[in-house]
Structure 1
Amino acid sequence: MTQSTINLLDIVALTVDLPEYNLYRGQVGTVVELLAGGAAFEVEFSDACGGLRRSNGRTYESVGLRPEQIMVLHFEPASPDSVPEMVTA
């Protein structure tokens, strides 16, 4: 799987199901904290009112995740010169 560097406030999607948190593959959240020097990330999941605009949405879950559990979403075309970073589990 390819993965770009994950940064604070990146919009990410789950790549795995986390039924213990009622979260499933494809759900979208925002990175709100870098943990363990960037080895893990606190991701906040908000309802549609917050959405990608980060307005007055209600947070329904906030959970620490490993890089292989999320992927960064991109809203602009990738540069032809960019080289994806490989992540291994």
Structure 2
Amino acid sequence: MTTNTIKLLDVVALTVDLPEYNLWRGQVGTVVDILASGAAFEVEFSDRNGRTYESMGLRPEQIMVLHFEPASPDKTPEIAMA
């Protein structure tokens, strides 16, 4: 995954488990800041009531952007390499 595909306020999901923070692959958060010129992203995890329960810096390979509309047919899928 390239860093230029992740933008401020993107909804993302974890691609890794982070047990030390009680966060697990698939948990959904929102990008709230772009760090180190796109080398990392501050992601906020909130409950159903909008209360933040964790906010942390993550590398691009630890998250994936969620898409809520069909992909454009002229776009090629990106493969994340760990």
TM-score for the superposition, normalised by structure 2: 0.90
Quote the offset at 1:4 in angstroms: 7.4
Percent of residue pairs identical = 80
Q: Where does residue 27 of structure 2 map in the other structure?
A: 27
Q: List, as ranges, runs of 4+ consecutive aligned residues in structure 1 with deviation greater than 6 Å.
A: 1-4
Gapped regions of structure 2 (runs ≥ 5): none
Residue number among 64, 75, 83 corresponding to 2:76 in the alignment: 83
- Aligned residues of 1:40 and 1:66 also touching (Cα < 8 A): yes
TM-score for the superposition, normalised by structure 1: 0.84
Alpha-carbon displacement from aligned partner over 1:15-53 (angstroms, at most 9, x marks no partner): 00001111000000000000000110000000012xxxx
Aligned residues: 82
Gapped regions of structure 1 (runs ≥ 5): 50-56
Q: Where does residue 66 of structure 1 map in the other structure?
A: 59
Quote the offset at 1:84 in angstroms: 2.8
SS at the partner of 1:85?
coil
CA distance in 1, matches of 2:58, 2:51: 20
- Aligned residues of 2:61 and 2:81 also touching (Cα < 8 A): yes
SS at the partner of 2:55?
strand
Matched, 1:46 2:40: no
Which amino acid letter does the alignment assign opposite residue 9 of structure 2? L
Quote the offset at 1:83 in angstroms: 1.9
